[in-house]
A and B are shown apart, each in its own frame.
Chain A
């Protein structure tokens, strides 16, 4: 098990990335691993970009420097590209897990910008990071029983990487405890996400 991990989460307001980050931090702390979670509030609920850093294993800076993320967990594919490109958040030795389901920003609807060609962009990214993994987490959340469980699919996906510096069971326990009313759907979503990435990693093309 690694001792430290820097995760950069990016998504769109309403996708639940703040909750995912908090659960990661709580699971770590309960496992005796130091955790720092930085958030930016304010405009997040209004469809803007939500960025969160989760630093596990004894860091002090609450935010990530350039090229510092060991793992990018992207809840939306355009935002994955933003984190990889202009925001320069991800290390060349880093892992990427991205949702493939696009949420078109208003600038695209207004024709002030073009949504990138994801197939092409992902093909380009692939060779420049250690591991590039994608899943349609939006569809998988639906399959689990609720589109709101997207963040649980993403946490499940993350848990399959073996990058976490604490036991996976601690995270599963937090998910179960955090919203008892939705525990069943959340755990199902978590498992579906976990299996999707485990399958991708087992496939020979993955590395």
Chain B
């Protein structure tokens, strides 16, 4: 049992934001949880996985985020409180299903957690998933810290049930991966936790053919009106301070930076703060009252000017005279995560204060050498790359390497330098088809075992059927290593016990790949010979080499 779950009511624990979300959900009576791991969301699923035995909840690492969301949706329709967690780009994968869940609505509470990654600490982009709340029409909760993450995860379930809509709970890296004191409440007894329900049929609500969908869109807008009324009175939306000179509107972790900045600048008495925790639908009356009570307003939000644009539109509609500042003030921009300095400089600028940049205490005469992450000592991916490099020989330079998402993306760096293109999960196989059709160059796709299951299979089917010619190297290290060694469908166990494995070799054969080789990359000579043969075959048709050796962290205990 993880510590996040062990302690009793009223105790204060040093919890990671992600652990706090798991705890809050379990206290709310969570019965069903799914995820596909991805930084910075992974510890939500991992914590729930370790709690499954004692709490009795159903938990699984699903094959991808779309399937995970579909499962959770169905559970909630059976009357079981359900949560699905993913990183921000995971919601792109799940988006097709997500958009429809807002039309069909939910019965039991359904909470979709998206963990965004401003500054791209471990992601390919820094998209702002608050736009998904606007796009789909989802109520949105944005915690500022682990305590609030806990409280919002807990409150999201009854809110979802009241509105009959899934709720989007959006964190960012600095909320998910900060530890802070969290005061926890009681966990329900296992016998009081609802893990099975009953699905009551209502096909003209749940089968969204056009004639069903049309009235459902109207219903969604009505539900969003109710949601706005809830946002007006939500305890997560509140005003702090009484200063009239400047009103700051803020959400998420930016609120924490604002609070510290006001203290640093010593201007707490001159400023008031509107903190929006339930920020969509926008509580327009509350915002209008606040804008009417201050001389100037400053919007402090990371990434996109979502609140800022809403506030400007509202001010125009209500003909408010208040001057609104936002992106472009001080250090505030649409780029990267905020920090105490960027936020302080913006507040200082609006208040006409000086804010000086500190000098470094030491300046290096030469540029300090970088320290990029590298593949671990003993990593089997190194061996796979090296054997293939030997097999390619002089052809290395002319070969296009389409890579994918996992530890092996580090093959980008010299001296391996075996990555030329990457978009997203599964893109190696799809783009390899395009590269091979639109050029006469040799093309090799690298994809990990978990990533193949997640998003590679449709592209394999496509390559076979459309007679693309390239080599797929499945870097099969028997785990989802990058995110913390989670299991995947190729293994004989899942999060909670033994499970039937879906072998990659028969999967590929079933997709119509005729040449499927299996090799242990650590046997360098043999691996090189197999790659040489496979490279020849791939000149005629799509060919696969499964380069199989367990992740070195599996044997070292992680």
Interface segment, B73-81, B280-288, B357-365, B541-549?
B357-365
Say which size band chain B's interface belongs to. Answer: 35 or more
A45/B368 in contact, CB under 8 A? no
Q: Which residue of B lies closest to A42 (CB)?
A: B122
Answer yes or no: A169 CB below 8 A from chain B CBs.
no
A115/B369 in contact, CB under 8 A? yes
Answer yes or no: A124 CB below 8 A from chain B CBs.
yes
Instruction: Please give, as numbers and ranges, the residues of chain B lying within 8 Å of A94 by CB-CB distance.
Output: 361
Which of B39, B369, B375 has the largest number of chain A CB atoms within 10 A? B369
- Residue among B174, B362, B553 making CB contact with A124, cutoff 8 Å: B362
Answer yes or no: A183 CB below 8 A from chain B CBs.
no
Q: How far is the CB of A68 from the nearest CB of chain B, in Å?
A: 7
Instruction: Please give, as numbers and ranges, the residues of chain A lying within 8 Å of B122 by CB-CB distance.
Output: 40-43
Complex CA gap A155/B550 in Å reads 34
B373/A48 in contact, CB under 8 A? yes
Complex CA gap A26/B358 in Å reads 31
Complex CA gap A26/B14 in Å reads 6
Q: How far is the CB of A63 from the nearest CB of chain B, in Å?
A: 6
Answer yes or no: B201 CB below 8 A from chain A CBs.
no
Instruction: Please give, as numbers and ranges, the residues of chain B lying within 8 Å of A112 by CB-CB distance.
Output: 369-370
- Residue among A62, A90, A106 making CB contact with B174, cutoff 8 Å: A62
Which of A61, A84, A92 has the largest number of chain B CB atoms within 10 A? A61
Which of B360, B362, B376, B407 has the largest number of chain A CB atoms within 10 A? B362
Answer yes or no: B503 CB below 8 A from chain A CBs.
no
**A23-42 residues at the B interface, CB under 8 angstroms:** 25-26, 29, 34-42
Answer yes or no: A79 CB below 8 A from chain B CBs.
yes
Binary contact readout A107-139 vs B (1 if CB under 8 angstroms, 0 otherwise): 110101111100001001100110000000000
Instruction: Please give, as numbers and ranges, the residues of chain A lying within 8 Å of B173 by CB-CB distance.
Output: 40
Known: A29-B14, A61-B257, A65-B339. A36 touches B178 (CB 8 A): yes
Instruction: Please give, as numbers and ranges, the residues of chain B lying within 8 Å of A105 by CB-CB distance.
Output: 369-372
Q: How far is the CB of B240 from the nearest CB of chain A, in Å?
A: 12
Answer yes or no: A78 CB below 8 A from chain B CBs.
yes
A62/B360 in contact, CB under 8 A? no
Q: Which residue of A lies closest to B253 (CB)?
A: A62
Complex CA gap A137/B146 in Å reads 33
B260/A60 in contact, CB under 8 A? yes
Answer yes or no: A13 CB below 8 A from chain B CBs.
yes
- Residue among B177, B364, B372 making CB contact with A86, cutoff 8 Å: B364
Answer yes or no: B340 CB below 8 A from chain A CBs.
yes
Answer yes or no: A64 CB below 8 A from chain B CBs.
yes
Binary contact readout A66-77 vs B (1 if CB under 8 angstroms, 0 otherwise): 111000000000
- Residue among A35, A47, A59, A86 making CB contact with B179, cutoff 8 Å: A35
Instruction: Please give, as numbers and ranges, the residues of chain A lying within 8 Å of B40 by CB-CB distance.
Output: 41-42
**B338-387 residues at the A interface, CB under 8 angstroms:** 339-341, 344, 357-364, 366-376
- Residue among A63, A92, A129 making CB contact with B339, cutoff 8 Å: A63
Complex CA gap A45/B259 in Å reads 33
Instruction: Please give, as numbers and ranges, the residues of chain A lying within 8 Å of B180 by CB-CB distance.
Output: 34-37, 62
Answer yes or no: A12 CB below 8 A from chain B CBs.
yes
A60/B364 in contact, CB under 8 A? no
B39/A41 in contact, CB under 8 A? yes
A66/B174 in contact, CB under 8 A? no
Answer yes or no: A198 CB below 8 A from chain B CBs.
no
Binary contact readout B97-132 vs A (1 if CB under 8 angstroms, 0 otherwise): 000000000000000000000000110000000000
B174/A25 in contact, CB under 8 A? no
- Residue among B174, B359, B367, B413 making CB contact with A113, cutoff 8 Å: B367
B362/A85 in contact, CB under 8 A? yes
Answer yes or no: A163 CB below 8 A from chain B CBs.
no
Q: Which residue of B lies closest to A65 (CB)?
A: B340
A84/B360 in contact, CB under 8 A? yes
Complex CA gap A20/B375 in Å reads 24
Q: Which residue of A lies closest to B43 (CB)?
A: A41
Complex CA gap A86/B367 in Å reads 9
B358/A66 in contact, CB under 8 A? yes
B373/A47 in contact, CB under 8 A? yes
Complex CA gap A88/B360 in Å reads 5
Known: A42-B39, A43-B122. A66 touches B369 (CB 8 A): no
**B508-528 residues at the A interface, CB under 8 angstroms:** none
- Residue among B145, B359, B371 making CB contact with A62, cutoff 8 Å: B145
Known: A41-B39, A107-B370. A64 touches B340 (CB 8 A): yes
Interface residues of B (CB under 8 A from A): 12-14, 16, 39-40, 42, 121-122, 145, 173-175, 177-181, 253, 255-257, 259-260, 339-341, 344, 357-364, 366-376, 407, 410, 413-415, 482, 553
Give 9 closest A-B pairs by Cβ, nearest first.
Answer: A113-B369, A42-B122, A67-B358, A48-B373, A65-B340, A46-B373, A105-B371, A43-B373, A62-B178
List 19 A-B pairs, Cβ < 8 Å: A22-B14, A22-B179, A36-B179, A36-B180, A39-B178, A39-B179, A40-B177, A46-B410, A47-B374, A64-B339, A66-B341, A67-B361, A78-B368, A84-B360, A85-B364, A92-B361, A105-B371, A106-B413, A128-B362
